[in-house]
């Protein structure tokens, strides 16, 4: 029987090698492309009608738009509006990646730490640049809590810098660990069903519940990733001054 | 209806979201601290000392992040005072309840 972690294996579909670097088009890349295509088709196709009273597809598209628009407005404030397209794209990409992974025989690209880390480091560097551009040298006061006595600075500043640097790590590990653990667990229970024969009904029941739970986690993790991006962006824009 | 009311901690999803956030935060702080300490040791050749120091600093940073998340201060580094957040304090309220 296949090992529970075999589903995470990268398989090159179109081997490409440029200058000794392996740039193969893998199953992970295929599902990333599929996620982008699915988002584009979903949004363009459902908004084609432009009904005043939206039909089902259009209201789904409007709902997802308003969901992120409200999230940005409430967590970042009105000056977060220029960043809305990025945050919306980020949310839809992660959401579709997580949900496509729930389709049998598909590949969950968000279960790869390098993918989630690339997303998180993009957010981290982007947010830091926004803070530096907006506040200049003032950005450095970010690392010293106001009201703390000055002789605490040698201790507090390294702690604050480390706590700042741990952001991309916690952001990426959270998404990756949730997706990987969930999918491994589903595969393990799937193995039980086959191995136990008639008594496989018991793990089967668990598996059904687990599948529902995994869909919840898929949506929730996309939401958590996005709302944390909003919170980081708000910190960068306002700096609490 | 406002979105934040839909996603208040009364809903299982959002409380779980907070729990996921907090759990990883602590580990990430320690990992980043230890990693930076190890890299500095490797670079400067200062034995295990910087790794030990940065391990504790990273642990403190991670706990600080957990404290901030739990107290509804978002993930703000160098958090100042709650009064600054009066205009967009809704999220803080909802998080504090959780």
- In order, the DSSP letters of A132-186 are HHHHGGGGGGGGS-TTS-GGGHHHHHHHHHHHHHHHHHHHHHHHHHHHHHHHHHH
Residue B65 confidence (pLDDT): 85
Residue B3 belongs to a domain: no
In residues, how long is chain B? 98
User: CA of A178: which chain B residue's CA is closest?
Assistant: B20
- Residue B2 binned pLDDT confidence (cut-offs 50, 70, 90): very low
Residue B32 to residue A166, Cβ atoms within 8 A:
yes
pLDDT digits (tens, 9 = 90+) for A24-45: 888 899 999 999 999 999 999 8
Partner B, chain A 69-98, Cβ-Cβ below 8 Å:
70-71, 74-75, 77
Q: In this prediction, what percent of chain A has a pLDDT beyond 70?
A: 98
Average pLDDT over residues A122-142: 88
Residues A231, B84, A151, A169, Cα dihedral to 10°: 0
Asked if the C-beta of B95 comes within 8 angstroms of chain A's C-beta atoms, the answer is: no
Residue B80 confidence (pLDDT) above 50: no
Residue B74 structural domain? 21-97
Output A87 or B24, whichever has higher pLDDT: A87
Residue B67 belongs to a domain: yes
Which of B4, B32, B80 lies at the smallest CB-CB distance from A240?
Answer: B80
Residue B98 confidence (pLDDT) above 90: no
Longest dimension (CA), chain B: 59
Q: How many domains does chain B have?
A: 1
Which of A177, A221, A235 lies at the smallest CB-CB distance from B77?
Answer: A235
Residue B15 belongs to a domain: no
Residue A92 confidence (pLDDT): 95
Which of B14, B23, B24 to substitute to test the interface with A, most A CBs within 10 Å? B24
Average pLDDT over residues A86-114: 92
Output A117 or B72, whichever has higher pLDDT: A117
User: CA of B92: which chain A residue's CA is closest?
Assistant: A75
Residue B83 belongs to a domain: yes
Residue B52 belongs to a domain: yes
Exposed, middle or buried: residue A136 (CB in 10 Å: 0-12, 13-18, 19+)?
exposed
In residues, how long is chain A? 241
pLDDT digits (tens, 9 = 90+) for A149-166: 888 888 888 888 888 899
Residues B35, B39, B44, B50, Cα dihedral to 10°: 0
Residue A90 confidence (pLDDT): 95
A41 Cβ neighbours under 8 A, 6+ residues apart: none
ipTM surpassing 0.85: no
Residues B16 and B98 sit within 8 Å (Cβ to Cβ): no
Q: Which residue, A203, A206, A182, A184, is CA-closest to A194?
A: A203
Residue A239 confidence (pLDDT) above 80: no
- Residue B59 binned pLDDT confidence (cut-offs 50, 70, 90): very high
- Residue B81 binned pLDDT confidence (cut-offs 50, 70, 90): very low
Residue A1 confidence (pLDDT): 55
Please give the helix or strand (H or E) that residue B95 lies within, else none.
helix B90-97
Residue B2 belongs to a domain: no
Q: What radius of gyration, in Å, describes the C-alpha atoms of chain B?
A: 17
pLDDT digits (tens, 9 = 90+) for A50-62: 777 888 888 899 9
Q: In this prediction, what percent of chain B has a pLDDT beyond 70?
A: 57
Average pLDDT over residues A97-113: 91
* Whole-angstrom distance, CA of residue A116 vs CA of residue B81: 32
Residue B49 belongs to a domain: yes
Partner B, chain A 210-229, Cβ-Cβ below 8 Å:
216, 219-221, 223-224, 227-228
Residue A129 confidence (pLDDT): 93
* Whole-angstrom distance, CA of residue A184 vs CA of residue A95: 19
Which of A164, A170, A177 lies at the smallest CB-CB distance from B77?
Answer: A164
What is the residue-averaged pLDDT of chain A?
A: 88
Residue B78 to residue A144, Cβ atoms within 8 A:
yes
How close does chain A come to B81, measured CA to CA in Å?
A: 8
| Least confident segment among A8-12, B15-19, B52-56, B86-90 | B86-90
Residue B30 confidence (pLDDT): 92
Residue B56 belongs to a domain: yes
Average pLDDT over residues A191-195: 88
Cβ neighbours of B81 in A, within 8 Å:
146-147, 240
């Amino acid at each position: 029987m296949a090992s529970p972690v075999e589903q995470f294996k990268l398989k090159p579909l179109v081997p490409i090698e440029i200058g000794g670097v392996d740039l193969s088009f893998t199953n992970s890349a295929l599902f990333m492309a599929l996620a982008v295509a699915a988002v584009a088709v979903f949004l363009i196709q459902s908004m084609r009608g432009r009904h005043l009273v939206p039909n089902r597809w259009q209201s789904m598209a409007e709902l997802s738009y308003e969901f992120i628009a409200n999230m940005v407005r409430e967590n970042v404030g009105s000056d977060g509006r220029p960043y809305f397209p990025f945050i919306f794209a980020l949310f839809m990409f992660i959401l579709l990646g997580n949900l496509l992974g729930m389709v049998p025989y598909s590949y969950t690209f968000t279960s790869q730490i390098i993918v989630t880390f690339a997303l998180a480091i993009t957010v981290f560097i982007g947010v830091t640049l926004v803070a530096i551009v907006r506040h200049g040298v003032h950005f450095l006061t970010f690392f010293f809590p106001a009201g703390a006595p000055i002789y605490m600075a040698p201790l507090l500043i390294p702690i604050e810098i480390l706590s700042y640097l741990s952001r991309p790590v916690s952001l990426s590990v959270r998404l990756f660990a949730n997706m990987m653990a969930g999918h491994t667990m589903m595969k393990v229970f799937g193995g039980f069903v086959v191995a136990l024969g008639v008594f496989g009904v018991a793990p089967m029941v668990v598996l059904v519940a687990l599948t529902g739970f995994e869909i919840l986690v898929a949506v929730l993790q996309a939401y958590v990733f996005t709302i944390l991006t909003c919170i980081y962006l708000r910190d960068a824009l306002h700096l609490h001054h | 209806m406002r979105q934040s009311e839909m996603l208040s901690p009364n809903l299982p999803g959002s409380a779980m979201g907070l729990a996921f956030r907090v759990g990883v935060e602590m580990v990430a702080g320690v990992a980043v601290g230890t990693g930076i300490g190890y890299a500095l040791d490797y670079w400067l050749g200062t034995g295990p000392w910087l790794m030990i120091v940065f391990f504790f600093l990273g642990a403190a940073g991670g706990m600080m992040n957990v404290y901030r998340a739990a107290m509804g201060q978002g993930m703000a580094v160098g958090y100042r005072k709650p009064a600054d957040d009066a205009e967009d304090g809704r999220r803080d309220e909802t998080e504090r309840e959780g």
